A and B are shown apart, each in its own frame.
Chain A
């Protein structure tokens, strides 16, 4: 509407032109008309915010013009100017919707002020149909400021309600079948102000389920007359989320193409809101920003115990307080209490949106083709309950009904909803939203996107009514928004992974290394020393492994036996047991093998540093453990005591004999060894490795035990270590599994939920307690 556009209608040129000039100077776009007929032409062509109308015109009188303008353009606000004021004409003018009148001669300031006030008046005078009786405003008794909080007692509230009841219909919240409903209130006692949510929203008083729009006569004497029925009514106990819904309806029904029926009801309705202190478990009002409101009511009550803090939201509200209530200024204690009860209420909401509501339009935009709509709507009954109970749903159908004599009838509108099967069906039979999924999607798009974009307000106020009403439990916009947010997040993550993936083509391609040295340890075991062809190091941690390829034979995981602290080569000690290891044993110095890795976590050096270290190796368990022994010896000062226990089955199966000899002599390491079965040459300990453990004295809390050996050994070693009170977190074991790919994909090495090649092969006993397949 062209709010700043003013139409001046006066037959006297001097008056017409002066009015025009004054208003132009004040910044209005002014059009003038000389006669009533001309004025009506103008009104038809152009939209005006205000019409300044002389009552006495040649031809069509001002009253006639007013009547026609009201019928054609009910939103145009008219100001009457007349040199001959009479009670009848001004009353008649007011009945026809004129806002005010000025008596000629008109003063420029008066005119400008009145035009300005008329345009800016938020709650403008209703456009009233003949049937509607507007009761006069109660006279203002004393001035009560708008937007200011006061405190009133329960008795004062009663007085307001009972006084209003003498002037208008009172509706409010009542209990019914254990739920709450809006209904007519006949006594103050019926009124419930502490409720969670009503079955139907109070918007039914502004947009009733069925209302007559027109009455008509059929046939030769066809006549049509608009009907606006609105009785003065007060709605008491409206929660803030419903206030926000009403504000949306105001926008939808009044901002453009103002709806006369809605307008009449709205203007005739007093709204006394109440803060929701015990929200419904299905409500998510805070996520939609609707759990509190500062606008949209005449009065807003907050129950602070015995009294109510009352916020004044309009002149009407101020008048009510002034006339019917005893108000007092709130104390700081009252204001603190109001804040406290509101905060307490806020804490009671259990549901929330996972994304900021500002992101909903974009989120929905990108989810149009999501399979979610199909799957979510499968159980939809198309029963319409969700849209019927929704305070922000306002769609309607329009139908005619005639009397049996077929001579007269009514055109009425009734609630309709986009979730109903035939909502988008046209006469040819085509249904533009024929499947449940498209209807559900449309409803959610309205709530989260279309309404927001069209009206600049959230399309769902989070009252939770639809979620309560939906027997199939699919109606909650919150659940939908969260589900598509999650789905969008997953999609985005998947896209990001693909987008950001920098796959190395070498993942499965080994680097080539030359065999530079072979040590025969036993008939079955050899240590091989390799150097990469590109001379780069392996860069491993003690306890890691590599995948070794003999091309044409295959690939096998082999633990690294040397410490990274030693020079540019690395050693792999290998027992000849399978295809790849047999092939390795057959290699000569100078042969080329493929190496991938290092893989796995390795020993937790950081956790070992500063501790006493008890190293226990059984048989070829010494292969991986040797890398740690070397590492510790090379960084000796970082560790406390170092004890190494080694057990072989027989003297002939002892490994790294030179090193064993060196360790037994070294002051830096307490070395003990044993063999399961001795022979005539063996002078040392005989017995399984567990027999060595009781012999060492350790401080259990200061000691980290690192154990590597066959699975059977672990069980008995653990028992011995627990006898020494070493905590599970301080016992470290390296597991053997079939590590085929080494990069956490092939699945062979999985123990319960862990990949040994990724999270292992080194674990603490504490970790293994949760892996039931482990030991």
Chain B
């Protein structure tokens, strides 16, 4: 029997879901391997009976909590999809503001119609089995996770920094090109795509398990960033972890 797969989204742009199925040649194979029973972006009918739940987005409203808990209860395997779900992502930038002020900035006079709370990754609310990281996710990695689950093995997601893949890609170090990079403490798996494309690492995949953040901050300062700039750089995607520290 094919496993039933459902996709859910919380506070997010829903781009990761779209990327997950942006498979072209392999979509047919995927649909042959699994039943997608719930996917707001691509189909209207829904089924409340599923085995694997992919959850996109961070949790930023009280009402999202019971909804996520229900998904957790139903799913045999729950997978966080994308930076917002995995690490809180850009939504957590607002966490440094008072919530009513954040609402006012976004909704102006209509703020009173909305409620919000400090944003958090989904593992701050329910246990998460696996993570497909990035902003947006890497479709290959998504497939890797799906295949691992189908084979009944634990997905092998790198626990080493972006530097490893960056060197494999043969890039000249970002610091040698006069820019700043979070690569040394951010989890690989993206094949250093931003750096290979001429930019630097923003940190969308979150920190490795045991990051030497102090050393990275020292390096950023050594190369000329101010403490505030260093903090800003870390906060873009990793405000939740950064603030929690």
Per-position 1/0 for A246-280, Cβ under 8 A of B? 00000000000000000000000000000000000
Question: Does A766 lie at the interface of the complex (its beta carbon under 8 Å from any beta carbon of B)?
Answer: no
Contact status B176-A179, CB under 8 Å: yes
CB-CB under 8 A for A209 and B144, given A381-B185, A406-B151, A421-B208: no
Contact status B147-A406, CB under 8 Å: yes
Question: Does B35 lie at the interface of the complex (its beta carbon under 8 Å from any beta carbon of A)?
Answer: no
Q: Which of A381, A414, A420 contacts B215 (CB 8 A)?
A: A381
Residues of chain B within 8 A (CB-CB) of A382 are 160-161, 208, 210, 212
Residues of chain B within 8 A (CB-CB) of A403 are 29
**Cα separation A200 to B150 with both chains bound (whole Å):** 37
Question: Does B184 lie at the interface of the complex (its beta carbon under 8 Å from any beta carbon of A)?
Answer: yes
Q: Which of B26, B164, B209 contacts A383 (CB 8 A)?
A: B164
CB-CB under 8 A for A388 and B164, given A176-B172, A403-B29: yes
Contact status B215-A379, CB under 8 Å: yes
Question: Does A350 lie at the interface of the complex (its beta carbon under 8 Å from any beta carbon of B)?
Answer: no
Contact status A402-B184, CB under 8 Å: no
**Which positions 64-103 of chain B face chain A at CB distance < 8 Å?**
none
**Cα separation A387 to B215 with both chains bound (whole Å):** 19
Residues of chain A within 8 A (CB-CB) of B210 are 382, 421
Question: Does B42 lie at the interface of the complex (its beta carbon under 8 Å from any beta carbon of A)?
Answer: no
Question: Does A306 lie at the interface of the complex (its beta carbon under 8 Å from any beta carbon of B)?
Answer: no
Contact status A384-B160, CB under 8 Å: yes
CB distance from B27 to the nearest CB of A (A): 9
Contact status B156-A200, CB under 8 Å: no
Contact status A385-B156, CB under 8 Å: no
**CB-based nearest B residue for A469:** B173
CB-CB under 8 A for A177 and B177, given A381-B185, A384-B161, A421-B209: yes
Residues of chain B within 8 A (CB-CB) of A388 are 163-164, 167-168
Contact status B212-A380, CB under 8 Å: yes
Contact status A381-B184, CB under 8 Å: yes
Question: Does A178 lie at the interface of the complex (its beta carbon under 8 Å from any beta carbon of B)?
Answer: yes
Q: Which of A379, A401, A405, A415 contacts B33 (CB 8 A)?
A: A405
**CB-based nearest A residue for B214:** A379
CB-CB under 8 A for A404 and B160, given A381-B184, A389-B167: no
CB distance from B16 to the nearest CB of A (A): 19
**Which positions 378-420 of chain A face chain B at CB distance < 8 Å?**
378-385, 388-389, 399, 401-406, 414-415, 417, 420
Question: Does A181 lie at the interface of the complex (its beta carbon under 8 Å from any beta carbon of B)?
Answer: yes
**CB-based nearest B residue for A474:** B215
Residues of chain A within 8 A (CB-CB) of B146 are 404
Residues of chain B within 8 A (CB-CB) of A469 are 167, 173
Question: Does B111 lie at the interface of the complex (its beta carbon under 8 Å from any beta carbon of A)?
Answer: no
CB distance from A53 to the nearest CB of B (A): 43
Q: How large is the interface on A (under 10, 10 to 19, 20 to 34, 35 or more residues)?
A: 35 or more
Residues of chain A within 8 A (CB-CB) of B177 are 177-178
Question: Does A345 lie at the interface of the complex (its beta carbon under 8 Å from any beta carbon of B)?
Answer: no
Residues of chain A within 8 A (CB-CB) of B168 are 209-210, 388, 414-415
CB distance from B14 to the nearest CB of A (A): 23
**CB-based nearest A residue for B170:** A200
Residues of chain A within 8 A (CB-CB) of B175 are 471
Q: Which of B26, B170, B171 contacts A404 (CB 8 A)?
A: B26
CB-CB under 8 A for A199 and B164, given A404-B26, A406-B151, A471-B175: no
**Cα separation A472 to B214 with both chains bound (whole Å):** 11
Question: Does B128 lie at the interface of the complex (its beta carbon under 8 Å from any beta carbon of A)?
Answer: no
Question: Does B30 lie at the interface of the complex (its beta carbon under 8 Å from any beta carbon of A)?
Answer: yes
**Which positions 357-385 of chain A face chain B at CB distance < 8 Å?**
378-385
Contact status A199-B215, CB under 8 Å: no
Question: Does B143 lie at the interface of the complex (its beta carbon under 8 Å from any beta carbon of A)?
Answer: yes
Question: Does A100 lie at the interface of the complex (its beta carbon under 8 Å from any beta carbon of B)?
Answer: no
Contact status A422-B161, CB under 8 Å: no
**CB-based nearest A residue for B154:** A427
Residues of chain B within 8 A (CB-CB) of A178 are 172, 176-177
**Cα separation A178 to B172 with both chains bound (whole Å):** 9
Contact status A384-B32, CB under 8 Å: no
CB distance from A524 to the nearest CB of B (A): 66
Residues of chain A within 8 A (CB-CB) of B189 are none
Question: Does B159 lie at the interface of the complex (its beta carbon under 8 Å from any beta carbon of A)?
Answer: yes
**CB-based nearest A residue for B167:** A388
CB distance from A440 to the nearest CB of B (A): 12
Residues of chain A within 8 A (CB-CB) of B161 are 381-384
Contact status B160-A383, CB under 8 Å: yes
**Cα separation A90 to B170 with both chains bound (whole Å):** 43
Contact status A421-B160, CB under 8 Å: yes
Contact status A404-B216, CB under 8 Å: no
Contact status B215-A472, CB under 8 Å: yes
**CB-based nearest A residue for B164:** A384
Q: Which of A204, A379, A385, A406 contacts B150 (CB 8 A)?
A: A406
CB-CB under 8 A for A404 and B163, given A200-B170, A381-B215, A421-B210: no
Contact status A399-B156, CB under 8 Å: yes
CB distance from A399 to the nearest CB of B (A): 6
**Which positions 124-150 of chain B face chain A at CB distance < 8 Å?**
143-144, 146-147, 150
**CB-based nearest B residue for A465:** B167
CB distance from A387 to the nearest CB of B (A): 9
**Which positions 182-225 of chain B face chain A at CB distance < 8 Å?**
183-185, 208-212, 214-216, 218-219
Residues of chain B within 8 A (CB-CB) of A384 are 160-161, 163-164, 167
Residues of chain B within 8 A (CB-CB) of A414 are 168
**Cα separation A181 to B218 with both chains bound (whole Å):** 28
Contact status A380-B29, CB under 8 Å: no
CB-CB under 8 A for A421 and B159, given A379-B212, A405-B29: yes
**Cα separation A436 to B208 with both chains bound (whole Å):** 14
Residues of chain A within 8 A (CB-CB) of B218 are 379, 472
**Cα separation A378 to B184 with both chains bound (whole Å):** 15
Residues of chain B within 8 A (CB-CB) of A199 are 167, 170-173
**CB-based nearest B residue for A417:** B164
**CB-based nearest A residue for B29:** A404
**Cα separation A74 to B46 with both chains bound (whole Å):** 57
**CB-based nearest A residue for B212:** A381
Residues of chain B within 8 A (CB-CB) of A209 are 168
Contact status B219-A177, CB under 8 Å: no
Q: Which of B26, B33, B156, B219 contacts A472 (CB 8 A)?
A: B219
CB distance from A200 to the nearest CB of B (A): 5
**CB-based nearest A residue for B146:** A404
11 contacts between A and B (CB under 8 A): A176-B172, A178-B177, A181-B172, A199-B173, A382-B210, A383-B161, A383-B183, A385-B167, A388-B167, A399-B156, A415-B164
Residue ranges of B at the interface with A (Cβ–Cβ < 8 Å): 26, 29-30, 32-33, 143-144, 146-147, 150-151, 156, 159-161, 163-164, 167-168, 170-173, 175-177, 183-185, 208-212, 214-216, 218-219
| The 6 A-B residue pairs with the shortest CB-CB distance in the complex, in nearest-first order | A388-B167, A404-B29, A383-B163, A209-B168, A379-B215, A177-B172
Excluding A383-B161, A383-B164, A399-B156, 17 further A-B contacts by CB distance (< 8 Å) are A199-B167, A381-B185, A381-B211, A381-B219, A382-B210, A384-B163, A388-B168, A401-B147, A404-B26, A404-B30, A404-B143, A404-B146, A405-B32, A406-B33, A417-B164, A420-B164, A422-B160
